[in-house]
Amino acid sequence: MNLKIAARMTVVLALGAAMTAAFMALRGDGSQDASSPRSAHPGGEPAKIELARCRNIGMAAIADEACAKAWAENRRRFLRPSRPAAPYVPPSTEEDQSRLLPLRPSTWPAAEDQLRPSTVAP
């Protein structure tokens, strides 16, 4: 008997969840429109509409000024860095000289042999 009650409760909970999901899907988009970025442009983004028009006219879009402007704006929007790039400043060697080793000429043993005159034993 307990198994029947558990099965009925599971079915009732599943139906309730399904009805709730269906109600939320069909109730409308009132709460989503307020947070949607497309709410500012009901017909869609003007740039998207223009880019779609340029795509649809094909090769004639190359000579169209409006398409050139739309493409330039699209490139600017997507290729713009998120933050301005700081100019590269090389590190100054004048700031910290303490960590540099003193300069001394380095010589290899073979180089020292070449600098000495060779003597011949009599």
Q: What is the pLDDT of residues 10-58, one digit of tens each?
A: 999 999 999 999 988 888 655 554 444 444 555 557 788 899 999 999 9
Residues with Cβ within 8 Å of 49's Cβ and at least 6 positions away in sequence, in order, are 43
Cα dihedral across residues 77, 78, 84, 86: positive or negative? negative
Report which DSSP code applies to 104. -
Residues with Cβ within 8 Å of 53's Cβ and at least 6 positions away in sequence, in order, are 67
pLDDT digits (tens, 9 = 90+) for 54-78: 999 999 999 999 999 999 988 888 8
Residues with Cβ within 8 Å of 51's Cβ and at least 6 positions away in sequence, in order, are 70, 71, 74
- Report the distance separating Cα 72 and Cα 57, nearest Å: 18
Give the pLDDT confidence score for residue 39 in this predicted structure.
46
**Six token digits for residue 100:** 């540099």
